[in-house]
Amino acid sequence: MEFLRHLVVLIHLVGFAVLFGAWVVELVNGKRGVTRLMNWGLAIAGVAGLALAAPWGIEYDMDYAKIATKLVILIVIGALLGIGAGRQRKTGSVPPAIFWLIGILTFANAAIAVLWR
């Protein structure tokens, strides 16, 4: 059971890597837009995160403060992706503040996943 939990943790981190990687590609290319790959990365990280929030395969207490913090950040990233995609369709570009917040919050959420013990 522990192996399965570690596998889900890996999938969770891969989801953040996909989201952050797509963001970095947009940054380097200078387009600074919201892509479908970012949405997929968010979905992968979210589903795996919800699976990890279930108390299976562990012998210690869940850290509900960490879970709540990561969930709030995930919801904010999703909202920013939605707002950014809407603005991108309407005006052809994503406002710089929204674009940068997506990257910063994604990095912060992955850092919380790894560093908060």
Tens of pLDDT along 79-111?
Answer: 999 999 999 999 999 999 999 999 999 999 989
Q: Report the domain count for the chain.
A: 1
Between 61 and 30, whose confidence is greater? 30
The amino acid that residue 61 corresponds to is D
13 Cβ contact list (under 8 Å, min separation 6):
110, 113, 114
pLDDT computed for residue 113 by the predictor = 85
* pTM (whole model) above 0.85: yes
pLDDT computed for residue 29 by the predictor = 95
What average pLDDT score do residues 50-65 get? 83
By residue range, what is the domain housing residue 17? 1-115
pLDDT computed for residue 43 by the predictor = 97
